[in-house]
Structure 1
Amino acid sequence: MLTDDEEDVSLFDAQDDTGSRPPRNTHTKHPVACLFHVMFRVCALLLYLLCDVVSSSSFVAGMVAIMLLLSCDFWAVKNVTGRLLVGLRWWNQVDEDGQSHWVFESRKGTRSSHLSDSDSRIFWLGLIVCPLVWVLFAFSAIFQLKIKWLPVVLMGVVLQGANLYGYIKCKVGGKTDLKNMATNYLGRQFLKQALSKEEES
């Protein structure tokens, strides 16, 4: 098992890419995975929006349905669609000492022909947009004093935010900190400017 202190590794049934690599396909290779990646989260959002409009008396039924959709979405994205659409997978495990470790895996040769640009775009668009919508719903529930809906909205933020965080960590690498990436980038730009000024003078 790998922890966040180790490099991303090959996972599941990935095949080693040898020789020349064909160009990536722009058509979706996993339409069913794309459908489920979008369906659960969009249904949860729509049900939240329409729950009060359709029937205000069935708050408990609406809340349970939204929670089930969010849970199904969390499981599907974490365990299935991330692996199929972008070749990434993450999880959190607790070792014998009680220490919690994030584990990140990536399919070897993620630029090969088994991934498509369409699948990747659908995956990342759904992964980024929906948590932002749940954050907007959270602010709306607070300002409109819809306190009974706040736990549902916070569940949406937490579950979809956890998947977003996990896949961003997978994408940039388990060892890489986003703050360190920004600092290194700014440092390189500063060094380039200093060297170019010395060359001019």
Structure 2
Amino acid sequence: MLRQDSQEAPLFGEDFDPVDKRKSKINSGFIGCMVAIILLLSCDFWTVKNVSGRLLVGLRWWNQVDEKGTSHWVFESKKRAHSEDATSSADSRIFWLGLIVCPVFWMFFVFSIVFSLKIKWLAVVIMGLVLQWANLYGYVRCKVGGKSNLRKLAKSYLSVQIFKQVMKEPETS
């Protein structure tokens, strides 16, 4: 004789704990969010690298592999006409501001993930940081010239700024 109201033998479908169901939904939500964010980051990287930079500031960069299998990075800068209008200057400022601010946000996200101990999001945040820094590095190399050494350029800029500060006449009250 079967007893359906017995608490010892749960009926079909009643053997799952509702807490377990919520955990699995949270995990599948995390995976979905992670995939969506990585796809959007990839689209953003591609758009900035291949469209925005070329149209707004006349710069582009890419990697090509020769017949020997050697990887070569190419950095190009389009020569701008002297009659730049105000919109292209504004577009350029917006482009560079976004290119510099985005990695700063991703660095903030890295620190907040580490300090909040939500380590499962670290892969997504590092992916965003790497893609943003790659675009920033590529466009800075295009702007200053692909063959120039960025470290040497930074040192010369700093030395010029220090020299200007030293040569500045002190103000008298």
TM-score, L = length of structure 2: 0.71
Distance 1:168 1:192, change over 3 A: closer
2:134 is matched with which residue: 156, 162, 179?
162
Offset of residue 125 of structure 1: 1.0
Question: What amino acid sits opposite 2:94 in the alignment?
Answer: I
Counterpart of 1:136 in structure 2 is: 108
The alignment yields a C-alpha RMSD, in angstroms, of 2.6
Alpha-carbon spacing, 1:110–1:96, altered in 2? closer, same or farther (3 Å): farther
Decide which of 59, 62, 81 is 1:88's aligned counterpart.
59
Distance 1:121 1:165 in 2: 17
Please list, as runs of the form range in 1=range in 2, the aligned pairs for 1:53-92 lying within 5 A after superposition. Answer: 56=26, 58-92=29-63
> What's 2:168 paired with?
none
Unaligned runs of 5+ in 2: 1-24, 166-173
CA contact (8 A) 1:86 1:110 kept: no
Residue 116 of structure 1 aligns to a residue whose secondary structure is helix
Identity of aligned residues (%): 67
Residues 106-137 of structure 1, C-alpha deviations (whole Å, 9 max, x = no match)? 11225543771111111111111111111111
Deviation of 1:178 (Å): 2.1
Instruction: Name the CA shift for 1:65/1:187 in 2 (closer, same or farther; >3 Å).
Output: closer
Cα distance in 2, alignment partners of residues 124 and 192 from structure 1: 26
Change (3 A) 1:92 1:110: farther
C-alpha distance in structure 2 between counterparts of 1:136 and 1:84, whole Å:
29
Greater Cα shift, 125-134 or 113-122: 113-122
Q: What is the alpha-carbon distance in structure 1 between the residues aligned to residue 161 and residue 124 of structure 2? A: 44
Cα separation, 2, equivalents of 1:189 and 1:144: 40
- CA distance in 2 between counterparts of 1:165 and 1:141 reads 24
Equivalent-residue separation in structure 2 for 1:111 and 1:164 (angstroms): 25
Q: Deviations over 1:156-200 (max 9, x none)?
A: 01111100100000011112222211333456678899xxxxxxx
**1:80 Cα deviation after fit:** 0.4
Give the number of aligned pairs: 141
> 1:182 — aligned with what?
154
- Match status 1:102 vs 2:60: no
* Mapped contact 1:78–1:90 kept (Cα < 8 A): yes
Aligned partner of residue 92 in structure 1, secondary structure:
strand
Tell me, what secondary structure is at the counterpart of 1:96?
A: coil
Verify: 1:126 aligned to 2:98, yes or no: yes
The structure showing larger relative contact order (alpha-carbon pairs under 8 Å, at least 6 residues apart) is 1
Q: 1:189 to 1:87 in 2, by over 3 A?
A: closer
Does the 8 Å CA contact 1:87/1:110 hold for their aligned counterparts? no
